[in-house]
Homo-oligomer: A and B are copies of this chain.
């Protein structure tokens, strides 16, 4: 069965794909608002692990609304959650019988709880899979270490194929770099450069 995995080029979504690989015909799918070039880093990471790659288009009005929400809130959580659900619904509507993402047990955001998962499955007629949702942070770190080659660095320095990159770019354009720095806590990003 074909499975489209929402793909950021980072370690979580790549590991999610590796868990599914023995059971599904996996395609890595980078979702883009068309605001920043997230397709190139997604394709590069997909090639580095030797899996198929596609892109899907997200609705830019969702990005606008999410950025305004994050600036009003002063933190990104609610906006990110809304964008993630939009991305899941978009890939669910893209023709794959199964879809997946890299959400993890210990993530606070984004999360897809059981009721949201079942709602997506019912509305779009797909299986929604969260292969890392049964793994804690330490287990995931150990599996990444064993199976992937990863480059890490600050968010601004590591080209990622995720909507956070685009939301930051849009926020920078509309509210300035200082607002981005205020709203998004600096954290280390990872980019997959191959398998081990």
Q: Which residues of A contact B (CB under 8 A)?
A: 1, 18-19, 22-23, 98, 103, 105-106, 114, 117-118, 121, 127-136, 138-139, 142-143, 146-147
Contact = CB atoms under 8 A, between A and B. Distances in A.
Interface class of chain A by DSSP: mixed
B98 A106 contact: no
A143 B22 contact: no
A138 B19 CA distance: 18
A143 B3 CA distance: 13
This chain's copy number in the assembly: 2
Contacts of A127: 135-136, 138-139, 142
Nearest to A142: B1
Contacts of A138: 121, 127
B121 A105 contact: no
B133 A139 contact: no
Nearest to A15: B23
Q: Which 5 A-B pairs have the closest CB atoms?
A: A130-B134, A133-B134, A127-B139, A131-B134, A133-B133
